[in-house]
Structures are given as structure tokens and as C-alpha cells.
Chain A
Amino acid sequence: MAEIFKFIAGCLILIGAFLSLVSAFGIIRLPDVYTRNHAASKSSTLGIMSILIGTFIYFFLEHGHFNSRILLGVVFIFITAPVAGHIISRAAYNTGVKLWDKSVLDDLKQAHDRIPSEQKDQ
């Protein structure tokens, strides 16, 4: 039983390392800030979470040590990573970073053009 769970822990750590590698490839390959943000905010979140869960399972079975800080770390990363992705892409948009091969950019651009003109009117 312990061997099976050790195997599962090893698999989780390998999957996490693979996902982190894929997210690094995505940051290199993808063309603009927003698509890179997709790779960075999703793959690395699940990658780090599965590495931490694998570590937790290993230490729990091998040493009988229930390390609750690892679980807290999983929860904190799960909560904060999407917020960080949102804030980075929002800051990029507000400082005027262009999108790549854009197809339906118009929605946010209209809203951005409208707000300063309304403020001018008032």
C-alpha cells in the first residue's frame, strides 16, 4: 500500500515538473503578453500544486510527518495565482501593450476610448 502511494507521489512530482517545463516553453514560444500569461498563470499553478501535493504524500508516508504548511501553500497558490495573472495582464493593457494577431479586440478598446471622453465632458 505504501509503495503504491509512493509511486503516486513520484508521478505527481513528475507531472508537476513537466507542467512547469511546458509553461516555460509557452512563455518562450507564445507571441504576446496576454497569451504568455495564459501559459504562466495556468500551467505553473497546477504544476506547483501537484509538486507540493506529491511532496506532502511522500513525507506523510515515509516519515509519518503530517506537514500542514504544504497544504496551506497549495491553498495560497491556488487563490493568488489567477489574481496575479489578471493584474499583470490588466497592467499591460492599461500601459498600452499591443495584442498580436487580433481578431475581436474592439470590446475593451471601445470602453477605454469612451471613458476619457465622458470624463472630458463632465
Chain B
Amino acid sequence: MAFQILLNVFLAFIWMFLRNEYNGSAFLVGYFFGLMIILGFRRFFGSRFYMLRVFAVFSLLCIFLRELILSNISVLRVVLKPKLNMRPGIFALETELTKDWEITILANLITLTPGTLVVDISPDNKTLYVHAMDIADVDEAIRDIKGSFEKAIMEVSK
């Protein structure tokens, strides 16, 4: 992916030299044409077309922000409720992600999810121990959410 971006910047510079115009708009035009060239020649690269990964990162960012707002609403509800009747607990969560940065992002996402907080990660990087605010009803729903998070992170690293 980094190689494709570097190649695209290089093509934009070549465009600037061909036009003999050295400013931002010439760079952007050259970058656009370089993008088209890379799109045309994408079957010669080892990885996939890099704009797909840029979109995946963007959608992951949107998920982050949405979960942050939802989790704040749920914390608000728990704190301002007159009676404390939640039942906290720690449950184990198996993950299929292997690389360190993927697990870091997954742990950050889980921490920002409504009602969950990562307490520990097992030494073999296979299990996340998550503290949940309310074990009873959240447990299954959270597993579904985690499926979508893991899928979004895999989409980035594919």
C-alpha cells in the first residue's frame, strides 16, 4: 500500500515537471491522473488498489466516533439512574486477529463501546478479557458488535 502511494506521488511530480507548473493544483491534477494510471495497472501490484484501504480506514473512523457517542449515552443512563441495579462482570472474548496493531485497535474500540472495558489480554494474544457494565443483556449483543468491529479491522489489513 505504501509503495502505491509513493508511486502516485512520484507520478504527480512527473506531471508537474511535464507541465512546468510547480504549485498545489498541478500536483493535485497529476495525483488524479496517477490514480487513474494505478487503477488501470492494479493487477501488476501484489496488494489491492490502495483507495479501497483508505475507504476502509475512513469507515473504521466513523465506527469509532459513533461508538463513542453511543457509549456516552449508555454511561449517562447508568450514572443518572436513581438505583444502581447493573451487574458487572468480566468475560473472555476470543479474537481471530493476529497482528499487534490490529489487537490494539480492537481493544481501543471495545473500550469505547457502550458498557465494555478491556481489562487484560492473554499472553498468547488470543483472548481479550473484557469488563462489562451489565453482563445479563449486553453479552450477546456485544458479541455481534465485535463481529462487525473485527470485520472492519480485517477489511483494513486485508
Contact = CB atoms under 8 A, between A and B. Distances in A.
Query: Do A and B actually bind?
Result: yes
Interface of A: 19, 22-23, 25-26, 29-32, 34-35, 37-39, 41-43, 45-46, 78-79, 82-83, 85-86, 89-90, 93-94, 99-105, 107-109, 111, 115
Interface string B116-140: 0111101100010101010110000
11 contacts: A22-B80, A25-B80, A26-B79, A37-B131, A38-B131, A41-B111, A42-B112, A45-B68, A90-B120, A99-B90, A111-B92
Interface in B60-93: 64, 68-69, 71-72, 75-76, 78-80, 84, 86-92
Contacts of A22: 75-76, 79-80
Contacts of B118: 86, 89
A32 to B, nearest CB: 8
Given A38-B75, A41-B111, A45-B68, A86 B92 contact: no
Interface of B: 64, 68-69, 71-72, 75-76, 78-80, 84, 86-92, 107-108, 111-112, 115, 117-120, 122-123, 127, 129, 131, 133, 135-136
Nearest to B133: A38
A103 B71 contact: no
B72 A43 contact: yes
Contacts of B71: 42
Contacts of A23: 75, 79
Chain B interface helix/strand/loop/mixed: mixed
Contact of B88 (A46, A83, A102, A109): A102
A19 B84 contact: no
Contact of A25 (B79, B86, B107): B79
A101 B92 CA distance: 18
- Specify the main secondary structure of chain A where it touches its partner: helix
A6 to B, nearest CB: 23
A95 B118 CA distance: 16
Contacts of A99: 88-90
Nearest to B131: A34
A100 B91 CA distance: 15
Contacts of B87: 101, 103
A13 B87 CA distance: 33
A13 B123 CA distance: 42
A83 B103 CA distance: 12
Contacts of A26: 75, 78-79
Contacts of B79: 22-23, 25-26, 29-30, 39, 43
